[in-house]
Amino acid sequence: MSTTVDTTFAPVTFSEGASKELYKLKDQQEIGENYGLRVGVEGGGCAGMNYILGFDQKKDGDQEFFIDGIKVFMNKAHQMYLMGMMIDWQDGLNSRGFTFVNPNATSTCGCGTSFSA
């Protein structure tokens, strides 16, 4: 298992609202220090690929980043789909939740959690 921690370059960024919400969720759910936020992709969804976002333990093939003080795990193979993506938090009347602004997506579905590259 790789133990490399890259603190100089992260493939994704968080908006201020997303960072605040992630800290809030980590505290509310009492997430332990051996967990980090998993950011990735998986096949499926109406546009071909779904985003993965949730607290998890480090797995083989993961790289570890610190983004705004948040430990983030990402499988190296997923970086080509997520490079330059910003994760935002929307807290409005019409929508509430994390959103993904991905410059690599050639199309997205209406719900915003599925894309094709």
Which is more confident, 41 or 45? 41
Which is more confident, 55 or 109? 55
Range name among 35-39, 46-50, 57-61, 86-90 with the lowest pLDDT average: 46-50
Q: Note whether 83 and 96 are within 8 A (CB).
A: no
Q: pLDDT tens digits for 85-116?
A: 999 999 877 778 998 998 887 766 665 555 56
The fold of the 34-101 domain, in CATH, is Hypothetical Protein Aq_1857; Chain: A; (2.60.300)
Query: With 70 as the cut, is the pLDDT of residue 30 above it?
Result: yes
Mean pLDDT of 73-84: 92
Mean pLDDT of 21-34: 94
Enumerate the domain spans of the chain.
34-101
The pTM assigned to this predicted structure is 0.82
